[in-house]
Amino acid sequence: MRQMKIAIAGCGIAGLASALLLERQGHLVTLYERFDEPQPVGSGLMVQPTGMAVLDALGLAEQIVAKGAPVDGLLGLNTEGEAVLEAAYADLPFAHAFGLGIHRASLFGTLFEAVQARGIALETGREVTGTQLLESGRSLAFADGTQSSPHDLVLDAQGVRSTLVPQADATLPFGALWATVDWPQDGEFNARLLEQRYARADRMVGLLPVGEGRAAFFWSLRGGKYDGWRARGMAAFRDEVCALWPALEPVMQQLREAEQLTFARYAHRTTKAATGERIAHVGDSWHAASPQLGQGANMALLDAFGLARAVEQNETLDAALAEYLTLRAGHVRLYQWLTWAFTPPFQSDSIWPGLFRDLFMAPASRVPPGPRLKAHLVAGLAGAGMERMGLALPDYSALGAACAASNTSSRASALAQS
């Protein structure tokens, strides 16, 4: 396709990846960010094989792996000590696979540095309020009353609260308290597992290794109970957490003030029109969901790659946007449905979803082909259509070696400093 002038609203993971992929094709890209300084929002996340494939295509996989922690699987136990959530990357049909726990700031920082290195234009302090279709293209309107010049294509990467999609109250009842803590060196924790503990479905606590000696702690909390949580105080919170998972005592000793934890709310919605005339939505502005399957950042990366692939393979913008939907819509529909279905067994006030999880869902998932199916779902590979997008899985044996070398170097540095 001929060189296009492209505006990207939003400087998160979806926007940064889209900018890198499209600029590499020779298009003139401008990122518009509402903050005066671009910044990540959130704590830990998992980079799945789908997301890692996109990062590998960008030449950033080894940098990302060096900043994160390889995760071999997920393990969740109920109050009886029974495993009710199990998924292992070893069950995937390719060798050496792993998920990567990483702090969102590390992933964001690597992408942002790559954008800066490419000299991609960035305008900060530009809060997008709308868009206008003109004869010469599509422009963005800003909160200060100004308007951008016309662009051939506008990408909406503003996330769940995008101003360029119809607003709807799709906020989920439960959110989560997040904090980044030092990894507890002493105790029963496995540094290669995402571990969770559940009391029925209304209380959940988890610990995810995110690399560089750090971990992401999270606690499920109903939105309407946040003020009550603050009023009870941190001592009561520590008692509640440690009653559910006593081994977390070293972690809770680090959390002395409520301000150390961020309360994140989630929404479940899918924008009906993912594309329009000279506009496309990527990431959460198209499809927002709870973090139960850990797919948010990975779906955003796949959207960015799918859109760039469609632009590269087609002669007209209309054809490219149509192919973008062909490449991504099926995968989006599948994971929106799966996330909707999987949320109640892990976040619900009712006793029944938790009982269904413990008595039926967990035992059934251990029967073949259950383990392989769980691995595919967690890895984001089910229905991803990566071959159709021309996207190859990374060489996990090489990435694992790079990660081991990075960890060895980090340990040596720590010893030298001590």
pLDDT at residue 412 greater than cutoff 50: no
Residues 6+ positions from 319 with CB-CB distance below 8 Å: none
Q: Average pLDDT in the 1-14 region?
A: 96
pLDDT at residue 52 greater than cutoff 60: yes
What's the CA gap between 188 and 248, in Å, rounded? Answer: 9
pLDDT in the model for residue 42: 73
Could you tell me if 129 and 158 are in contact, meaning their C-beta atoms sit under 8 angstroms apart? no
Q: What is the Cβ-side half-sphere exposure of residue 133, based on CA atoms within 13 angstroms?
A: 5
Q: Average pLDDT in the 176-202 region?
A: 93
| Cβ neighbours, 10 Å, residue 111 | 27
Q: Which residue has the tokens 């910044």?
A: 39
Residues 349-403 pLDDT 10s: 999 999 999 999 999 999 999 999 999 999 999 999 999 999 999 999 999 887 7
Of the ranges 119-133, 185-199, 207-221, which one carries the lowest mean pLDDT score?
185-199
CA dihedral 278→6→272→264, nearest 10 degrees, is -160
What's the CA gap between 86 and 77, in Å, rounded? Answer: 9
Which own/partner pairs from 327-333 qualify as long-range (CB within 8 Å, at least 24 positions apart)? 327/385, 327/388, 327/389, 328/274, 328/302, 328/303, 329/274, 330/383, 330/385, 331/299, 331/302, 331/383, 331/384, 331/385, 332/270, 332/274, 332/286, 332/287, 332/299, 333/270
Could you tell me if 198 and 84 are in contact, meaning their C-beta atoms sit under 8 angstroms apart? yes
pLDDT in the model for residue 418: 28
pLDDT in the model for residue 406: 60
Angle between helices 104-117 and 13-24 (to 10 degrees): 30
Task: Residue 178: name the closest of 261, 104, 291 by CA.
Answer: 261
pLDDT band (50, 70, 90) for residue 258: very high
Residues 6+ positions from 8 with CB-CB distance below 8 Å: 15, 18, 19, 29, 30, 31, 32, 154, 155, 157
Q: In terms of DSSP bridges, do strands 174-182 and 214-222 run parallel, antiparallel, or are they unpaired?
A: antiparallel
pLDDT band (50, 70, 90) for residue 21: very high
Would you mind telling me the total number of residues written for the chain in this entry? 418
pLDDT at residue 414 greater than cutoff 50: no
Could you tell me if 391 and 53 are in contact, meaning their C-beta atoms sit under 8 angstroms apart? yes
Q: Average pLDDT in the 38-51 region?
A: 88
> Taking CA 373 as the corner, what is the angle to CA 173 and CA 209, rounded to the nearest 5 degrees?
60
Q: Whole-prediction pTM value?
A: 0.95
Q: Average pLDDT in the 216-238 region?
A: 97
> Taking CA 69 as the corner, what is the angle to CA 68 and CA 71, rounded to the nearest 5 degrees?
135
pLDDT band (50, 70, 90) for residue 405: low
What's the CA gap between 286 and 105, in Å, rounded? Answer: 22
Q: In terms of DSSP bridges, do strands 28-32 and 5-9 run parallel, antiparallel, or are they unpaired?
A: parallel
CB neighbour burial string for 4-35, b if at least 16 within 10 angstroms, e if fewer: bebbbbbbbbbbbbbbbbbbbeebebbbbbbe
Report residue 105 as tokens: 């700031």
Homologous superfamily of 1-38+124-168+269-343 in CATH?
A: FAD/NAD(P)-binding domain (3.50.50.60)
